[in-house]
Amino acid sequence: MDLLELAKARWSVRKFSPRPLEQEKLERILEAGRAAPTAANFQPQHIYVLQSEEALARINSLCRCIYGAKTVLLLSYDTERDWKNPQQAGIHSGEQDVSIVATHIMLSAWEQGVASCWVNAFANDQVAAAFGLPERERVVLLLPLGYAAEDAKPMEKWHFSRKPLADTVTFL
Ligand SMILES: Cc1cc2nc3c(=O)[nH]c(=O)nc-3n(C[C@H](O)[C@H](O)[C@H](O)COP(=O)(O)O)c2cc1C
């Protein structure tokens, strides 16, 4: 499958089977994240792999979008180590860096038959506190990861509609 086919085939899975994710697949997925570009190559990201019963119970108590996954990646970045734009006050690269890492992870997972769902519907500071992250780390997203349940389906109104290119691209 080439990258365009892969990107179009992927969908957000919101019902996971209890089948555990193999360690080799997880390592390959994390390696794809490691290959992601970051601003000035500062690599401010940190990925927490939540797999213990305790960690999963904690994240399920703070977020309704875990969908039964037995592996959840929590992606954060170090606000003291991301790139700061000297030409535009207040513009920092952390969220962009982490988003690229997460996108690599999501696509590498799908390529190996592993499903995920990008999740940002949670209280970021509460999650950071619950897992004892350092003050300077900011949580960006959660990525429940694993095998789709047999009856999981893409959401009709969300997965199947993309705006025409002309609505989102302007040639100048
Ligand atoms: C930044 C971002 C935040 C998202 N947050 C959530 C979320 O909290 N819960 C959820 O179920 N899906 C979430 N999604 C998944 C989107 O709803 C989904 O990607 C979009 O509707 C397109 O559907 P598809 O991924 O199945 O193609 C999020 C996606 C992105 C990119």
Q: Is 52 helix (H, G, I), strand (E, B) or coil?
A: coil
Compute the distance between CA of residue 43 and CA of residue 41 in angstroms, rounded to an integer: 6
**What is the pLDDT at residue 150?**
97
Please tell me the residue having the least CA distance from ligand 1 atom 29: 118
pLDDT one-digit tens code per residue, 76-85: 999 999 999 9
Ligand 1 centroid distance, CA of 118 (Å) = 5
**Model pLDDT for residues 96-145, shown as the tens digit of each residue:** 999 999 999 999 999 999 999 999 999 999 999 999 999 999 999 999 99
Q: Name the residue of 120, 142, 143 to mutate for ligand 1: max ligand atoms within 8 A of Cβ.
A: 120
For residue 158, report the distance from its CA to the centre of ligand 1, in Å.
8
Query: Is residue 74 within 8 Å of residue 47, measured between CB atoms?
Result: yes
Count of structural domains within the chain = 1
The whole-number pLDDT of residue 131 equals 98
Ligand 1 pocket, residues with Cβ under 6 angstroms = 11-12, 14, 65, 117-121, 154, 158-159
Nearest C-alpha neighbor of 145 from the set 167, 119, 104, 117? 117
From the alpha carbon of 122, which atom of ligand 1 is closest? Answer: 8
**pLDDT of 68 higher than 90:** yes
Q: What is the CATH number of the domain that holds 144?
A: 3.40.109.10
How many alpha carbons lie under 13 Å from residue 43 in its C-beta half-sphere?
A: 6
Range(s) of the domain holding residue 19:
3-168
In the predicted model, what is the mean pLDDT of the chain?
Answer: 97
pTM, entire model? 0.97
Task: Note the pLDDT of residue 154.
Answer: 95
Task: Summarize pLDDT for 1-57 with one digit per residue, the tens.
Answer: 899 999 999 999 999 999 999 999 999 999 999 999 999 999 999 999 999 999 999
Which contiguous run of DSSP H or E holds residue 141?
A: strand 137-146
Position 1 scores a pLDDT of: 81
Burial 116-143 (b: 16+ CB within 10 A, else e): bbbbeebeeeebbebbebeeebbbbbbb
